Structure 1
Amino acid sequence: MKVEQKGGRRQAALLAAVVFMLSAWGLAAPARAAEIPETVIPMGRTVGIKLFSDGVMVVGFSAVDASDGAHTPAQDCGLKEGDIITHINREEVDSIEEVQSVLQEVAGQSMSIRALRDDKTIQLTAQAVQCSSDGQYKLGAWIRDSMAGIGTLTFCDPDSGVFGALGHGINDVDTSRLMPLQSGSILYSEVTNIQKGEKGAPGQLQGAFQIDRDLGELYANTDRGVFGTLAGEELTQGLEAVPVATRSQVHTGAATIRSNIAGDQVQDYDVEIVRIYPEGENDTRNLMLKVTDPELLEATGGIVQGMSGSPILQDGRLVGAVTHVLVNDPTQGYGILIETMLEGA
C-alpha cells in the first residue's frame, strides 16, 4: 500500500498543535452513572486532544509505478475514500506501520481486506504491486491512523470524572467521516496566538500542548462530542458545579460563554441566544448564538475554530456548548444543548 503518514502515530506527538475545525472531526465506556447528572462543572479550558483510530482510514488514492507500468490496486479492488481497513488476511491492523509490515510479508500474493463502510463490514480481494522506485509492495492508497489538535472542554461530572468536549465529533479532514476511536487522551495546552475571524474566513486559536502531560483518557468520539475521564483534579480544582439546564429552561436572551483564548486563562464573555431550534429539527445544532462582548469581539472577531466546546451558561445553569461558527458572520454561531450532549456521553 502506498502510504503517506498523514496524521500517523509518530506525527501525533506534536508540540505545535493544529486546531479542530468547528465544522467538525469507540471504546466501550467505563463504568459511570447511568443517568444524566443534575450538576456538572462548566470548564471552558482548551486541551490538546490526540486520537488513535480503530483500524486505518482510506483518505485518498494514487497510482503505483511498477516495472510494467502504473497500477491502482486499491481502487481496482473496490476500496473507497472513508473505508476503514480493520484486517488484512485476518491480521488486525490499527496503524500505518502494521499495514506496511503486512504488505511486505504478503508481497505480490492475493490478499483479503476486511473494511468498514457506513458501519457495514465489507470483504475485498486485492494484490499489492511492487514499486519500481523503492521495491516496497503497495496498494496505492493514502491512509490515516491518528489525529491531534486543540479543543475546548465543556463539562466534567465531579462524581465520576467523566468529561465532554467540542460538542461535535472529530472528523477526518479529507473524507469528513467520523474517526473511529481505539484510544486517545487529552493533554495540557496553552493558547499562544489568535487568528481573528473575518467574513468568509473563520479565525482560529493557535497553541501548543505538552505531549508528556496526560490529563485524561478518551472513551468515545461521537457526533455530539468527544468524551472521556479525567486522570485527576488538576483541571477542576477550585471550580464549582452548576445545575444542568433542561431544554424547557433555556430561553432566548442574555447568556455567557466560558472560553480560553489566551494562555491557560479561562474567562466568561457575553453572548445572546437568538434562536432555539425545535426538538428534532437538528440534533446537534440546537441554538443560535450572537457574541455581544466587546472584549471577545476585539480579540477574536467572535467565534473562532478551537472555541468549539466552550460552555454556554444562562441563569446560573449550564445550557449547552458552542459548536460551529457562521462563515459569513463570525459574530454568530451554533450551539448544542447540554442535555443533548450529555445523552451522547
Structure 2
Amino acid sequence: MRDEEQTQPWTLSVLLALRLLALGTAAALFLLSFGSRARAEEAVPVLAQGNAQRQLIPMGRAVGIKLFSDGVMVVGLAEVPSSDGASTPAKDCGLRQGDIITHINDTQVDTIEQVRDVLQDLEGDKMSIRAMRGEKQVQFTAQAVACSDGSYRLGAWIRDSMAGIGTMSFYDPDTGLFGALGHGINDVDTALLMPLESGSIMYASVSDVKKGEAGQPGELHGAFQVSQDMGDLLANTPGGIFGTLTDQSLVDGLEPMPVAARKEVKVGSATILSNIAGNTVEEYTVEITKVFPSGSHDTRDLMIKVTDPRLLEATGGIVQGMSGSPILQNGKLIGAVTHVLVNDPTSGYGILAEHMLAESGLQTGTKAS
C-alpha cells in the first residue's frame, strides 16, 4: 500500500448525533446534550504579524471539541417501511451520501430536530430540498413516507454534529486566536469536511490510554466538560480547526516562541508537546525523518518518528487524540502532529506551522500598538 493508504488522522475519539431520519429515531453514539447553539461570529481576529518573526505559544493541551454543522449532512440512504411496502424517497429523488441539506421548502435546516419537525408539518406533501454537493447547489423534489407510528420519514441517515478529544496546537497572545488538530474534522462516513456553523472547545482530562500496536491504532480516553466552554470555533479547514480562546487562564505563565519557516525545518531531532494523562502537558523527543517539498504531500509536510522511551512505553507512539500536538525544533514552533502510520504507530506525519496558518483561511495583519 501507499503511505497515504496506511495512515489515519486522529481527530475525534467520540462521534455524536448520527440519527436515522428515515425511522424517526435517535441512534447516536455517545450522544451528548449540548443545548442551544450560537452561529459563529462573522468577524474573525487577525493573526499578529509585524516586522519581527511571528510568535505563538505552543500548547499541547488536550481539549474537548464540539462542532455543529451548517446544514445537515447525508451520511447514508435507507429504506422506509410502510403499509405499501418499503420505499426509498431520499434515494429516488436524487440525494446522495455527502450532500448537505440546507433548506426544505423555504425553511433553513441545521439540526436533525428541525428536519424531523418540517417533515411532520408537511404530512407527506411534496417538498423541495436544497442541498450543497461540493461547491454546487442542487435541488430535489421528494415526498416523505407515512409510517404506521404516524411519523413521516425520508429514508436518509443524517448528521448535524460531532464531538471528541483533540489537541490544541498553538495560541496567539496578540489576537486570542488558537489552532488545533493540524487537519480538519471530517465526517466519519463520507470523509468529507464538516461544514461549520458553530462550535467550541471545552476542558478535557485524559484518564487512560489504549496503547497503539501495528495494525491496531491506540487512543486517548477521557472526559470533557460539556457545560463549560473555553473557546469558540471559527473555522474548520483541511489544515486544522481555529477559533478564539475565551478563558485566558489556560495560557497563564506560558511563553511564545518564533514560528519556523519551511526552510528552517531540518531532518533530525525535535520534540513534541502532548497531554496523555490528566491535564498535564509534557515534552517528548521525536526524530524528523523527512521534510517534503512545498505542495507535494497535501497538508502532510513532515515525517516524524517517536523516540522518547516514556511516550513509547505509555502509548506505543502516536495515538488518537494526539492530533495537533505541537512540534518544536531549535527553539521554534515548526508544526503539529497530524497522522500515524497504522502499521507503525511510532511514526506519522506532521503539518508545518506556517502551512497550518495558511490553511486556516483567516486573515493576517499587523499587531495593534
TM range (shorter): over 0.9
Q: How does 1:1-345 map to 2 (within 5 A)?
A: 1-2=21-22, 3-5=24-26, 11-13=31-33, 28=42, 30-33=44-47, 35=49, 38-132=54-148, 134-345=149-360
How far the C-alpha of 1:28 sits from its partner, in A, is 3.9
Amino acid across the alignment from 2:193: L
Amino acid across the alignment from 1:31: P
Change (3 A) 1:313 1:29: farther
Amino acid across the alignment from 1:67: S
Measure the CA separation in 2 of the matches of 1:122 and 1:152.
Answer: 36
How far the C-alpha of 1:86 sits from its partner, in A, is 0.2
Change (3 A) 1:277 1:6: farther
- What residue ranges of structure 2 are gaps of 5+ in the alignment? 1-20, 35-39, 361-369
Measure the CA separation in 1 of the matches of 2:306 and 2:351.
Answer: 16
How far the C-alpha of 1:213 sits from its partner, in A, is 1.4
How far the C-alpha of 1:313 sits from its partner, in A, is 0.1
Paired residues of 1:27 and 1:220 also in contact (CA < 8 A) = no
Measure the CA separation in 2 of the matches of 1:234 and 1:27.
Answer: 23
Measure the CA separation in 2 of the matches of 1:256 and 1:215.
Answer: 27
How far the C-alpha of 1:4 sits from its partner, in A, is 4.8
Please name the residue that 2:12 is paired with: none
Paired residues of 2:45 and 2:177 also in contact (CA < 8 A) = no
Change (3 A) 1:71 1:189: same
Amino acid across the alignment from 2:139: Q
Paired residues of 1:311 and 1:318 also in contact (CA < 8 A) = yes
Q: Helix, strand or coil: the match of 1:234? A: helix
Measure the CA separation in 2 of the matches of 1:93 and 1:63.
Answer: 22
Paired residues of 1:166 and 1:225 also in contact (CA < 8 A) = yes
Change (3 A) 1:161 1:6: farther
Paired residues of 1:4 and 1:143 also in contact (CA < 8 A) = no
Measure the CA separation in 2 of the matches of 1:246 and 1:227.
Answer: 20
Paired residues of 1:313 and 1:319 also in contact (CA < 8 A) = yes
Q: Percent identity?
A: 63
How far the C-alpha of 1:6 sits from its partner, in A, is 5.3
Paired residues of 1:40 and 1:155 also in contact (CA < 8 A) = yes
Amino acid across the alignment from 1:168: H
Q: Helix, strand or coil: the match of 2:298? A: coil
**RMSD, matched Cα:** 1.6
Paired residues of 1:12 and 1:147 also in contact (CA < 8 A) = no
Measure the CA separation in 2 of the matches of 1:279 and 1:32.
Answer: 24
Amino acid across the alignment from 2:308: D
How far the C-alpha of 1:7 sits from its partner, in A, is 5.2
Paired residues of 1:49 and 1:186 also in contact (CA < 8 A) = yes
Measure the CA separation in 2 of the matches of 1:42 and 1:53.
Answer: 28
TM-score by length of 2: 0.87
Change (3 A) 1:5 1:277: farther
Number of matched residues?
Answer: 332
Measure the CA separation in 1 of the matches of 2:188 and 2:205.
Answer: 23
Measure the CA separation in 2 of the matches of 1:55 and 1:281.
Answer: 33
How far the C-alpha of 1:108 sits from its partner, in A, is 1.3
Change (3 A) 1:321 1:29: farther
Amino acid across the alignment from 1:195: K
How far the C-alpha of 1:318 sits from its partner, in A, is 0.1
Q: Helix, strand or coil: the match of 1:171? A: coil
Change (3 A) 1:32 1:12: farther
